[in-house]
Structure 1
């Protein structure tokens, strides 16, 4: 029976398993984002009331870029291979750069930037905890 926070921590699965669950959750989010991007590209839904063929070239380029990158990163994260994590980080930092350096074109989205920074911080924390646990086992 779990009666304290310490009992809860001792009853949890290994940090490596928690990290895999986290990466798969991120994979599901990216899969959804990729499907939304492709729905915009093929003309199922508009983005901010603008259809893909009416978007400026910069928006079209970003939509196709993230439509491909999201799905590739989702597959890699689900399989928990290293290139999946790299693709996810490239995607997150690309979004951060878009909405900070090129905000005149793509708009400022502070909540989205905060989301990416928080998800990266959680990933780094879980990676650290997993490595610490692996060292303790050795």
Structure 2
């Protein structure tokens, strides 16, 4: 049985915190897959348009190179539940949203990517708000 220090509550994660950790790890898996797909594009594993670095336009070379490095980095941070993991994911998501919603003439219009990032960001904000509400409720007690 765990002893509690006087004046301190037990630091055990609740249901929200556990669900948040599972959510972050699912997003980490998606980030890893995205990173691998960008690496596949860079090394020219699949034939087709824009599937080889030397044949890509400059804007795709820059974007694919940056995202191929940042997505696996974000995956590592999200999997470890590090505070910098969501920040790196946000940079990747903002980059892809800017690519596909802001500059579709250069990168193509992919609304599924934009909507997916927006939904993930909304769920993340919902989790953070719920955890903050829970902490405030526990502080009042």
Superposition TM-score, scaled by structure 2 size: 0.82
By how many angstroms is 1:22 displaced? 0.5
Runs of 4+ deviating beyond 6 Å = none
Query: Deviations for 1:14-67, whole angstroms, at most 9, x for unmatched residues?
Result: 211111110100000001111111122222224646423211111111111110
Compare relative contact order (CA 8 Å, sep 6+) and give the higher one, 1 or 2.
Answer: 1
Larger Rg, first or second structure (1 or 2): 2
Superposition CA RMSD, Å: 1.5
Aligned match of 1:115? 116
Aligned match of 2:88? 87
* Structure 1: unaligned runs, 5 residues or longer: 1-12
Aligned match of 1:77? 78
Structure number having the greater helix percentage: 1
CA separation in 2, counterparts of 1:103 and 1:109? 8
CA separation in 2, counterparts of 1:113 and 1:17? 27
Aligned match of 1:21? 22
Superposition TM-score, scaled by structure 1 size: 0.84
Contact 1:40 1:46 survives alignment (8 Å): no
Larger deviation, residues 42-51 vs 115-124: 42-51
CA separation in 1, counterparts of 2:79 and 2:56? 32
CA separation in 2, counterparts of 1:108 and 1:17? 36
Alignment length (residue pairs): 126
1:42 equivalent in alignment to 2:59: no
SS at the partner of 1:37? helix
